[in-house]
Amino acid sequence: MAVDATTASDYGRKYPWLRGRLSTIPNGVDTEAFKPMDRTECKREWGFGGKVLLYAGRLEPDKHVLDILHTFLSISQPDAVLAIAGDGTLRARIEEQGRGGSVRILGSVSRSRMPSLINASDGGVLFSDEGLSSFALETLACGVPMIGTLTGDLPKLIRDGDNGFLAELGVAMRTILRGSVVPERSISEMVREYAWPEVGQRLLSLYREM
């Protein structure tokens, strides 16, 4: 089972015996937990005052978190904060290189607190070659714009200038921080087909077939 068509194709090329035996079922998102919330209250909870960009995930080389950090530091947007939630082997380097800048290293954040953290943000950021990121789905489900890459199913989810950007990273960051694309409840409607009641039925159908 693959989470997107690109991943299924890659596996089919790498493992020819899998061709014709792969099913494509996307990651699901808990839309009961990840939904638009009171953003003012969420910002207060996390101590955010101005605009916030959020990365959440493993702090490992394949996630290109250092690229996100360096790009953010290079744009010098006043009153903007880059919040980084997660842990991994790059944490010490990220803390060192982000010192003195408007960077908040949050460490591991419990799943129960992630909806409020996302709602406290003005945009989510990814810069890795993932087929379909759970963080991207959760961010959009909260009505928050998402910055992503032209990989996997992200181009099906993210529409430039509408609910996020697949453009050059620095340009995308500046645009969201300047308020050209803002969190909207309507953004959450774009991921309804990825809600667990929908995806779960597809999973159950596959298991029953097997």
Per the structure, the complete domain to which residue 9 belongs is given by 1-28+195-210
Answer whether 94's CB lies under 8 Å from 86's CB: no
- pLDDT value for 48: 95
Residues 207 and 168 grouped into a single domain? no
pLDDT in tens, the chain (210 residues): 888 888 888 899 999 999 889 999 999 999 999 999 999 999 999 999 999 999 999 999 999 999 999 999 999 788 899 999 999 999 999 999 998 879 999 999 999 999 999 999 999 999 998 778 899 999 999 999 999 998 888 888 899 989 999 989 999 999 999 999 999 999 999 999 999 999 999 999 999 998
| CA 75 to chain CA mean position, Å | 20
Domains in the chain, number: 2
| Angle CA 189–197–205, to nearest 5 | 130
Residues 129 and 199 grouped into a single domain? no
Answer whether 12's CB lies under 8 Å from 1's CB: no
Q: CATH number, domain at 73?
A: 3.40.50.2000
Residues 85 and 168 grouped into a single domain? yes
Angle formed by the axes of helices 169-177 and 65-75, nearest 10°: 60
Residues 165 and 207 grouped into a single domain? no
- pLDDT value for 130: 79
- pLDDT value for 19: 85
Residues 48 and 74 grouped into a single domain? yes
- pLDDT value for 152: 80
φ and ψ of 186, to 5 deg:
-65, -25
